[in-house]
Amino acid sequence: MEVKPFQVSVREIFDGYLNDEESGQVVAFGGKLNVRPAYQREFVYNAEQQEAVMHTILNDFPLNVIYWSDNGDGTYEMIDGQQRTLSFCEWLNNGFSIFANPNAPKMPYYAHTSEVIKERVLNYKLMVYICKGTDVEKLEWFKVINIAGEKLNDQELRNAVYTGQWLADAKQFFSKRNCIAYKLGEKYLTGSPIRQEYLESVLYWISSAIGLTIEELMARHQGDASATPLKDYYRGMINWIEQTFPNYRKLMRGIEWGLLFNDFGFRTYNPEELEKQISELLLDEDVTRQKGIYEYVLSGKTREKALSIRQFSENDRRRMYERQQGICPLCEKEGRGVKLELSEMHADHKIPWSRGGHTTLENGWLLCRRHNLEKSDK
């Protein structure tokens, strides 16, 4: 990893500044600097922060260090410093008008009708660090500088590293307001496309299916010409959810659908039968994790853990202890019941939940460690 400090004036950065509202593209530094690379979330004008930036510059105080990434072909991408850069560039373009905060103190020197003031801003020098390295090195480094700057989340950081046609194509589908992925799957996914949470989910699901990390998957496909397989996977998954569970419930939002699709997408189900099981399970008071119902029914009722069946409470345990006088009933049956401490005993369903037993005092007892293990082995 190579990190080079570099002093640059506002004039040099403002040279060729272009902010295309339509496409969201922003370039500066003679067209060589991508101020708003595709992975950066939408810049939110924060009038107070912008005024603070201009205040700093006009007082000739130092701004925090800015980071660019060297693309290796004479062009650069803004890694950290987008807000600051846009603040002074927009000020030079529009002057006062962008400072929309009505409560902000009106500082007379913002009206850059004065060429002297404008010159002062243009001559201001700031410190830029330019980094060049492998993808993995960059990612590590971005994580570190990200602590201080305009914060990017994990997927935004990954997008900063694994750039290319593949990612651009994927983002077209997964990462725009009202993108196709959002329109198709908004009922099933949580998070925001713009903050890259849809993209992150689909990458996570696919990489899990083949035993890779998201970074490994992105590195492997970075050079691909299109992200069609990602889109196909996603469409296939949504299609599968809709056909398997035609009756939509709000609780279906935020389930890790891709993981279920990976495990069960190839099986055939009877949607009516599944629906019957779901509505029964929703009425079961011992099911404390209702989102897990979908995994449970898809697994053919083998993944009981997904439901987080209600445990016996501490009060229940103490009542059972009194009732049994501290003796394991199964040991007693074997003719060797001895009094144990409460802490040595384990609450257990006499009839397991899966066979219709509930988490009630009547259906509970305390067993010794050995008998509890023997029972749960079955």
Q: Which residues bind Zn ion (CB under 5 A)?
A: 328, 330-331, 368, 371
Burial class (CB in 10 A: 0-12, 13-18, 19+), 249: middle
Q: Are 298 and 237 in contact (CB under 8 A)?
A: no
For residue 328, the minimal CB distance to Zn ion (Å) is 3
Determine how β-strand 76-80 pairs with β-strand 33-34. parallel
Give the residue among 267, 7, 279 at the shortest CA–CA distance from 129.
Answer: 7
The two three-digit tokens of residue 309, written as one number? 């069946």
For residue 370, the minimal CB distance to Zn ion (Å) is 6
Give the residue among 8, 125, 14, 121 at the shortest CA–CA distance from 58.
Answer: 121
Distance between CA 11 and CA 14 in Å, rounded? 5
Distance between CA 353 and CA 302 in Å, rounded? 12
Q: Which residue's CB is nearer to Zn ion, number 48 or number 374?
A: 374
Q: Which residue's CB is nearer to Zn ion, number 108 or number 335?
A: 335
- Which segments within the chain are labelled E, that is strand? 2-9, 18-19, 26-28, 33-34, 66-70, 76-80, 125-132, 345-349, 364-368
The two three-digit tokens of residue 172, written as one number? 């077209």
For residue 239, the minimal CB distance to Zn ion (Å) is 51
Q: Which residue's CB is nearer to Zn ion, number 56 or number 324?
A: 324
For residue 153, the minimal CB distance to Zn ion (Å) is 51
Name the 3-class secondary structure at 122: helix
For residue 339, the minimal CB distance to Zn ion (Å) is 12
Q: Which residue's CB is nearer to Zn ion, number 303 or number 375?
A: 375
Q: Which residue's CB is nearer to Zn ion, number 50 or number 324?
A: 324
**98, 111, 120, 230, 377 from 49: Cα distances, Å:** 12, 17, 20, 38, 61
For residue 321, the minimal CB distance to Zn ion (Å) is 14
For residue 319, the minimal CB distance to Zn ion (Å) is 19
Q: Which residue's CB is nearer to Zn ion, number 22 or number 334?
A: 334
Q: Which residue's CB is nearer to Zn ion, number 10 or number 328?
A: 328
Residue partners of 166: CB distance under 8 A and separation at least 6: 221, 222, 223, 224, 225, 226, 227
Q: Which residue's CB is nearer to Zn ion, number 121 or number 368?
A: 368
Q: Which residue's CB is nearer to Zn ion, number 287 or number 368?
A: 368
Residue partners of 25: CB distance under 8 A and separation at least 6: 18, 34, 36
**156, 179, 188 from 254: Cα distances, Å:** 20, 18, 6
For residue 368, the minimal CB distance to Zn ion (Å) is 3
For residue 309, the minimal CB distance to Zn ion (Å) is 22
Q: Which residue's CB is nearer to Zn ion, number 301 or number 323?
A: 323
Taking phi over 0 as left and psi of -120 to 50 as alpha, with beta for the rest, 95 belongs to left
Taking phi over 0 as left and psi of -120 to 50 as alpha, with beta for the rest, 275 belongs to alpha
**5, 79, 263 from 65: Cα distances, Å:** 9, 11, 47
For residue 326, the minimal CB distance to Zn ion (Å) is 12
